[in-house]
Structure 1
Amino acid sequence: MDYYTRAKRFILKNSRPLDMERWNYLFENGSKEDVISVLKTYQNIDGGFASALEPDCWNTNSTPLQTWAATQIIKEINLDDKTHPIIKGILNYLSSNNEFDGHRWNGLNTVVTNDNYPHAPWWSYSTKQELTYNPTASLIGFILKYAKKDTAIYKLACELSKEAYNYFKKNFPLESMHESACFIELYNYMKECSILNLVNMDEFKELLQKQIKQVITYDTKIWNTDYICKPSLFINSKSSDFYLENKDICDFEYKFILKTQDDDGSWKVTWEWNDYLEQWAISKNWWKSDIIIKNIKYIREFDL
């Protein structure tokens, strides 16, 4: 049985409806609207997202992080309709100042209400965390792509993009791989939309090239056992501005994925929850489906 058949078997047996529709859309000629229809079930009336869309947090209240997770799926299915209700809802949520301190959404990366629901330990609320641009940098890019240019939220995003870039330069190199990924997403959004006048894009690209090399885990012996940083977090296409300078490690990941698929069609989840073990067993399966989808996409994109 080949890698695709094994992966599909796992998805058919274990995935939630959202990941089933993602699989169908990406690999089985399924409908984009079917993905959106399921994705909308995670969207609250305020336009934000919740309810374990990001499987490590079961909070039913809208949060910036869960909303960011929705933008990743919107990007995955290439939903470009700026008037689509799901897009309008997200922009309304981001305009509401919910969990926004004037500079960042969810700057501490956790919210108080997380503690009322099953969650991974890193999503427990704490005011001791350092402020971060995860997921703000990516959300800024989403606004720049989808908001109308005459709206207050678009104008705010223009100012926030400059603030975020200045933060990135001042704190370069960043320690966090996820914060790094959000800045790469901001760069990609700005390039896609030809928004080239807010920051120095050549300088941005050059710094991001160096940032990627700072955070990728080059000790590949621990890739299958530890929670580490692989190039796929940043580079999902050979057309990426960051592919050629990282070609060798990207090509290695392609081979690594093919070699490390488990017999049930999934790949290992290299993190654990300390509490809520019953819910973690469920979330772990959800993560396996998400990893399967991302790995099959990666194999198809980087097929040597």
Structure 2
Amino acid sequence: MRLFTAESMELHEIYCYQRLMISLTGEERASVEGKLINLISDTVEKDPTKWGGYVARPLNFVDSPDSPFYQMLKDGVQNELDYLIEQQNIDGAWYPNWEWPTYKDTWEKVKLELAGKITVDVLQTLKRFGRI
């Protein structure tokens, strides 16, 4: 399995192994989790000033305080929760931090739909971590 031979891994590939880990038990799970700890630690961007770009952030790997990777990323998770709160728009929503370079008219409509999804996701995350 590539997981055990890779020295680094792209964010989305790590997600796949995280999902696999959840389905495993015993020694298999422990083995996968041990390797993921190293990969996640090396992949996650710890500098909040870079979180506006397309980088792996702590909450990409931790969905609640019960996550197996929470303790390892606890400080980063708390910093990212603060960051999310700071990013809330004056209208109460969170908007995408990217845009389409083409199809400007379509983008304006899609941006509002995405803002709805992003806002719900952020609010659910803040609730799971006791911030609201």
Kindly indicate which of the two structures has a greater share of residues assigned to helix.
2
**Given the alignment of the two structures, is residue 168 of structure 1 paired with residue 12 of structure 2, yes or no?**
no
Provide the aligned C-alpha RMSD in A.
1.9
What's the CA shift for 1:214?
1.6
Compared with structure 1, are the counterparts of its residues 283 and 182 closer, same or farther at alpha carbon in structure 2 (3 Å cutoff)?
Answer: farther
Residue equivalent to 1:236: 63
Indicate the SS of the match to 2:3: helix
- What are the superposed Cα offsets for residues 180-201 of structure 1, whole Å, 9 maximum, x if unpaired? 122212212x0xxxx437x822
1:285 aligns with 2:112: yes
**How many residues are paired up?**
131
How does 1:42-53 map onto structure 2 within 5 Å? Answer: none
| 8 Å CA contact retained: 1:269, 1:284 | yes
Unmatched 5+ stretches in structure 2: none
Q: Is this contact kept in 1: 2:87–2:94, CA < 8 A?
A: yes
Q: 1:212 aligns with which of 40, 44, 47?
A: 40
Residue number among 91, 98, 102 corresponding to 1:275 in the alignment: 102
Q: Deviations over 1:119-171 (max 9, x none)?
A: xxxxxxxxxxxxxxxxxxxxxxxxxxxxxxxxxxxxxxxxxxxxxxx022223
Q: Contact 2:96 / 2:115 at 8 angstroms: preserved in 1?
A: yes
Structure 2: distance between partners of 1:215 and 1:231: 9
Contact 1:254 1:299 in 2 (8 A): yes
TM-score norm. by structure 1 comes to 0.40
Q: Which has the larger radius of gyration?
A: 1
Q: What's 1:297 paired with?
A: 124
Partner residue, 1:38: none
Deviation at 1:283, TM superposition (A): 2.0
User: In the alignment, residue 171 of structure 1 is paired with which amino acid?
Assistant: A
Q: 1:182 aligns with which of 9, 12, 16?
A: 16
2:85 is aligned with 1:258: yes
